[in-house]
Structure 1
Amino acid sequence: MTDMTSLPPTATPVPIVLAGARGHGRWHLANIRRLQHQGLVRLAGICELTPLDATELDAFADEPPEQSADFGALLDSTGARAAVICTPIQTHTALALTAAGRGVHLLLEKPPAATRADFDRILAGVREAGTACQVGFQSFGSHAVPAIRELVAAGAIGTVRGYAAAGAWVRDDAYYRRAPWAGRRRIGDTDVVDGVLTNPLAHAVATALELAGTTAEDVTAIDTELFRAHDIEADDTSCLRVTTASGPPVTAAVTLCAEQAGEPYVIVHGDRGRVTFWYKQDRVLVQRAGHGPLETVHGRTDLLENLVAHLTDGTPLLVPPERTGAFMEVVEAVRTAPEPRPLPSGAWHTVPVPGTGATRRVVRGIDALVASGAETLALFSELGAPWALSEVASS
């Protein structure tokens, strides 16, 4: 197999195709424009079912990209060297393999696949092709991640008792109407797994696993409690515990039905202190015995920029697929768990979203419950939530 990832340095910008330029894809479009301005990349093409109009491409008016709904044909016609895939979850595998088959390197949005089997197919495809694949867990690019791991390894908070992720976000009812796959566990025979643990707050789960250094091979059991306040198939209010062969547990408690939106975070619990990491802000708070609290804000390496550096000078990838194996074990556990349980009508209520005319659903007491889960490494049922009793599913 020929290794195509480490090519000679070049002053020529890396030609890129973006698959999925609306929704979250708009963020990638702006990021590509930023890197194009620096001379690192060139937006060669956009793959969308409906082409972007001139207004949507205003930032690229001086050099408009080619557009097509045929991803493979677009890669061929543009001579793209790399592609960003930001499309519905269930399309990731086919598109990733299409790119790998043409020797095109990848930034693949999270979650990388809807099933462990599809993830394994992507792994095999990029290995066979010798292409680079970066998974879009942006928090792994935070310089706080290695800093926290160094602190913990040095014994700053004593013996680690566990890692806990927490996320309390709000989404209005239109969130699940934005796309046919939104909030679905499957469409026909195709797995989607668009639940809160596996997509909107996937970063919380993956970041906790990354800080713990958990690999797919380490995982011995995953306990899940999946619930929904919305009229959807997937979960919007859930928790889990990952048990490993030798390390402490990793837990997550998350919701899209918060009373008040908050910044998601991960806590590393030690017997002599703790580290709290607000991963979207790259902010770290260290609290330990005999010391005052210490808060720091860290820099971040952009994942597409890192992929380009990997292609031009061999810089190691920050998020190769292997780094997300434990997270894919979580995706598989959620996929194969019993259907999420609808919360009783008394457990949630509807509130207006100020200034929009929209409404959203709020689970009563969920903010405190999520925070308690992170503080105690406990599941909702263990915390006494009446609607969660006897709901633990293990895999």
Structure 2
Amino acid sequence: MRKAFFAVVGVRNFAADHIKFIKELEKENEVKLAAVVVEDKRKNFDIVKGLKCEGIEVFESFEELLEKGRKFIDIITLPTAIHTHSEMAIKAMESGYDVLLEKPPAPTIQELDNIIKVEKKTGKFCSIGFHMIHAKSIRKLKEIILEGKLGEIKQISCKALWPRYKSYYSRNDWAGKIIYNGHIVLDGPMHNALAHYLNNMLYLLGPSMNESIDLERVRAEFYRAHTYIEAEDTSCLEAKAANGTKIYFYVTHASEKKLDPYMEIEGTKGRAIWDFSENTKIVLNNGETMEFGNDGVDPHLEVFRVTARKHLGIIDELYSTPKNSRPFVVAINGAYDSAGKIIPIPEKYVEEFETEEKEYKTVLKGIDEVIYEAFEKKVLFSDLGVKWAVPTKEVNVRNYVFFNPFIQK
């Protein structure tokens, strides 16, 4: 049986997860971890030693991998910093490799469009690591929507409270940054930690199984409670899709409590609820109900399985691509255009303290309740009259092709 041979750029943090997922799938005989890139062999001595004992090639740089890996590497995975994504993906495809690129695919729409152009030019593909649209529950929910069982989708909304400590923002040099070393990053919850759940909504509204919905208009608000970061940690978004569906998204890293992503879909024939554990419940207006989960399928593994099978010719289409990620990037860029700037939360509304676990935590007072209320009423924070909230403008994102945060539109 033919196998797809992978190389992973890096061995720590999420690169370690890539290695773990590939090794897990090796049991199925369709994939093989063949190489890694390790720039600091001294720091990673034990990891490198173990990998070499397994017969895995260790390259000292991405450039060395590109030059020497052609004879035995099929797919390069890029669990790298956000601002490196487009440049590295393009270099890999131009060097003759298929690519698995971590989410978010690129900070700007022009970078993403360049990836799409290079895919067409080289004939290579770039699979995007939005693992949640590989989830069995999401794909089954989309099938039900496409069959028309929920009728016309009027609105879709999601909320999530994921508090993040100071250690989260100190994990690397670009965490919590808008710009890093002259590169656009946009490392807020909407673009990074909770990106999957905005992308899920855009995917579910798409006109076919592997398409997402284009957007027409976006309105968003960005706020910062953490005093030591540049990016927003709290945001809300309202968007109108090309088919008229309204999209609502409410997220924060500065909450008191934790709430995993929770999504509701309202259709003319029924209603669906999906949560982070992949429990899905559909209640139709005729009284019929459906409930399902993920049947034990790990969506993280599906990303690698689908990518390998596309390379091997077993399947024709990837699930997550630069093309169907485009509405997500448009939503993010449009949100920044709409917000105009990130509003610092006044000190009197913020608490920063050390937890019993010796973690430094930031809480925006009352944000938990604000998000719950905004979610129920389908409005933005400023619409509620929240004292620290600032109204923003709606922007037209139809035919959107360029984003620059330094240009006030």
In the superposition, the TM-score normalised over structure 2's length comes to 0.86
The match for 2:355 is 353
Q: Cα distance, 1:42 vs. partner?
A: 2.2
1:1-395 aligned within 5 A: 11-51=1-41, 53=44, 55-56=46-47, 60=51, 62-79=53-70, 80-213=73-206, 218-230=214-226, 231-271=228-268, 273-278=270-275, 280-289=276-285, 291=287, 294-299=290-295, 300=297, 302-315=302-315, 316-336=317-337, 337-355=339-357, 357-392=358-393, 394=395
Residue type matched to 2:179 in 1?
Answer: R
How far apart, in 2, do the equivalents of 1:216 and 1:286 lie?
A: 21
Distance of aligned partners of 1:252 and 1:69 in 2 relative to their CA distance in 1, 3 Å threshold: farther
Distance 2:47 2:356 in 1: 27
Contact 1:168 1:263 in 2 (8 A): yes
| Structure 1 stretches lacking a partner, 5+ long | 1-10
Cα deviation for residue 54 of structure 1 reads: 5.1
Which residue matches 2:406? none
- In structure 1, how many angstroms separate the alpha carbons of the residues matched to 2:50 and 2:158? 37
Whether the aligned pair in 1 keeps the contact of 2:236 and 2:251 (CA below 8 Å) is yes
Deviations 1:295-333 (A, max 9, x none): 321244511110111111341211121111100102322
CA spacing shift, 1:45–1:377, aligned 2, 3 Å: same
Once the two structures are overlaid, the 10-residue window that deviates more, 241-250 or 301-310, is 241-250
SS at match of 1:319: coil
Q: Offset at 1:293?
A: 6.0
Report if aligned partners of 2:237, 2:380 keep a CA contact under 8 Å in 1: yes
Q: CA deviation at 1:207?
A: 0.6
Distance 1:34 1:24 in 2: 15
C-alpha distance in structure 1 between counterparts of 2:48 and 2:137, whole Å: 34
Q: What is the match of residue 3 of structure 1?
A: none
User: What is the distance in 2 between the residues matched to 1:376 and 1:195?
Assistant: 24
CA distance in 1 between partners of 2:50 and 2:374 (Å)? 44
**C-alpha contact (below 8 Å) 1:219/1:242 kept by paired residues:** yes
Structure 1 SS opposite 2:341: coil
Output the CA distance in 2 between the equivalents of 1:282 and 1:217. 22
How far apart, CA to CA, are the structure 2 residues paired with 1:339 and 1:96? 30
Secondary structure at the counterpart of residue 100 of structure 2: strand
- Identify which range, 44-53 or 133-142, moves more after superposition: 44-53
**Separation in 2 of the partners of 1:50 and 1:209?**
39
Indicate the percent of aligned positions where both proteins have the same amino acid.
Answer: 25
Give the SS at the match of 2:368.
helix
Structure 1 residue 288: deviation in Å? 4.1
Equivalent-residue separation in structure 2 for 1:217 and 1:207 (angstroms) = 11
- Paired residue type of 2:169: Y
Assess if the C-alpha contact under 8 Å between 1:45 and 1:65 holds in 2.
Answer: yes
Q: How far apart, CA to CA, are the structure 2 residues paired with 1:368 and 1:124?
A: 44
Task: State the distance in 2 between where 1:307 and 1:182 align.
Answer: 28
Shift of 1:16: 1.2
CA distance in 1, matches of 2:113, 2:233: 27
Cα distance in 2 for residues equivalent to 1:243 and 1:290: 28
- Greater shift, 223-232 or 140-149, is seen at 140-149
Partner of 1:233, secondary structure, is coil
Residue 46 (structure 1) shift: 1.6
Counterpart of 2:57, as a letter, is E
113-122 or 151-160, which deviates more: 151-160
Structure 2 spans left out of the alignment, 5+ residues:
397-409
- Secondary structure of 2:19's aligned partner: helix
Judge which range, 262-271 or 120-129, deviates more: 262-271
Relative to the length of structure 1, the TM-score reads 0.89
The 3 A distance-change label for structure 1 pair 48 and 225 is farther
SS in 2 for 1:56: helix
Q: Say if 1:15 and 1:253 are closer, same or farther in 2 by CA, change over 3 A.
A: same
Deviation at 1:37, TM superposition (A): 3.4
* Pairwise CA distance, 1:67: 2.6
**Once the two structures are superposed, what CA deviation does each residue of 1:350-374 show, in whole Å capped at 9, x if it has no partner?**
243333x112111222223223333
Shift of 1:246: 2.8
Cα gap change, 1:115 to 1:377, in 2 (>3 Å)? same
Cα offset for 1:182? 0.7
Partner SS state of residue 237, structure 2:
strand
SS of 1:30's partner is helix
CA distance in 2, matches of 1:59, 1:285: 45
CA pair 76-40 structure 1, distance change in 2 beyond 3 A: farther
**Structure 1 residue 105: deviation in Å?**
0.7
Counterpart position of 2:401: none
| Alpha carbons 2:262, 2:273 under 8 Å: kept | yes
Structure 1 residue identity aligned to 2:68 = S
Deviation, 1:186, is 0.8
CA distance in 2, matches of 1:20, 1:281: 29
Residues 1:58 and 1:241: Cα distance change in structure 2 (over 3 Å): farther
Q: What RMSD in Å do the two structures reach over aligned CA positions?
A: 2.4
Q: Does the aligned pair in 1 maintain the 2:383–2:391 contact within 8 Å?
A: no
Distance of 1:318 and 1:217 partners within structure 2: 14
8 A contact 1:116–1:331 mirrored in 2: no
